[in-house]
């Protein structure tokens, strides 16, 4: 039987969705995370995305959800039951990930971090470091045996930039952009350089320290919306995998069939 799997990753800023036909990703979308949306609003929105991309909601026979926003989960569960006739598999305690988690309290680890780690280790083996540029920028380490060791969590690029604007009287909102120089002669470019190269430096510094603690040969995999922007500016990132989280959800679903 062909598996038509809807994968849903709920982040603090965006919800990323994808549809797999067995192992093939047919399509994917990004919508805003809105705690005020109702079951019906999510249902209509997702079915409309299906319709616009020539996919049939009735063909979906499995759903898996990871979330770092607990209040949205019951709404999406009801949406799945009402609009797809399915009860989703939720990433959480009791779900087989195939990965040993060496965290003081494994329940504290964000579902997205585990999903990313599973996908990165499955594709590249270990040791591997995963950098996820989301609302927060997270760094996760997996050793050569596939054990999740933990990592670091930093303020994300978006919220850091927004805080800079809100906490200063004269600095404007800016587009994240790589500048030719860090010695800039106007306010906009000075901010762009500071934000962009500041985060490049953050990545290089944390990855360097992680490699020393983990293994200097560790491969670094980046994902998240801004990974493609930051990665070309540093040699600390080996590969960018924009769909890493969706792929991890697919892998975990297969392990729990």
Which positions make up the binding site for ATP?
9-16, 135
Q: What backbone phi and psi angles, to 5 degrees, belong to 240?
A: -110, 130
Is 176 within 8 Å of 214 (Cβ atoms)?
no
CA distance 93 to 112: 14
Cα 159 to chain centroid, rounded: 16
What residues form the annotated binding site?
9-16, 103, 110-113, 132, 135, 187
Q: For 170, which DSSP code?
A: S
**How many helical (H) and strand (E) elements, i.e. helices and strands, does the chain have?**
7, 11
Give the residue numbers annotated as catalytic, written as ranges: 112
Q: Hey, what are 206's tokens? A: 């944390």
Q: In the chain, where do the E strands start and end? A: 4-10, 14-21, 24-32, 62-67, 89-90, 100-101, 128-133, 136-142, 147-155, 219-224, 239-240
CA distance 99 to 101: 6
């Amino acid at each position: 039987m062909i598996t038509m799997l809807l994968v849903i990753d709920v982040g603090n800023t965006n919800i990323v969705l994808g549809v797999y036909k067995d192992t093939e990703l047919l399509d994917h979308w990004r919508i805003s995370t809105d705690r005020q949306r109702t079951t019906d609003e999510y249902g209509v929105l997702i079915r409309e995305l299906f319709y616009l991309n020539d996919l049939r909601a009735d063909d979906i026979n499995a759903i898996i959800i990871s979330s770092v926003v607990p209040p949205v989960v019951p709404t999406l569960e009801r949406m799945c039951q009402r609009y797809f006739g399915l009860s989703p598999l939720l990433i959480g305690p009791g779900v087989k990930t195939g990965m040993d988690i060496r965290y003081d309290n494994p329940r504290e680890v964000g579902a997205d971090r585990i999903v990313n780690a599973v996908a990165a280790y499955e594709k590249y083996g270990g040791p591997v470091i995963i950098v996820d540029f989301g609302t927060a920028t997270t760094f996760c380490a997996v050793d050569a045996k596939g054990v999740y060791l933990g990592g670091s969590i930093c303020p994300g690029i978006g919220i850091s930039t927004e805080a800079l604007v809100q906490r200063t009287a004269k600095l404007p909102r800016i587009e994240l952009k790589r500048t030719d120089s860090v010695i800039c002669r106007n306010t906009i470019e000075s901010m762009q350089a500071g934000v962009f190269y500041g985060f490049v430096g953050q990545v290089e510094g944390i990855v360097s320290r992680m490699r020393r603690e983990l293994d200097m040969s560790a491969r670094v995999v980046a994902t998240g919306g801004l990974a493609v922007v930051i990665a070309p500016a540093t040699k600390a990132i080996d590969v960018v995998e924009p769909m890493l989280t969706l792929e991890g959800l697919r892998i975990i679903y297969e392990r729990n069939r």
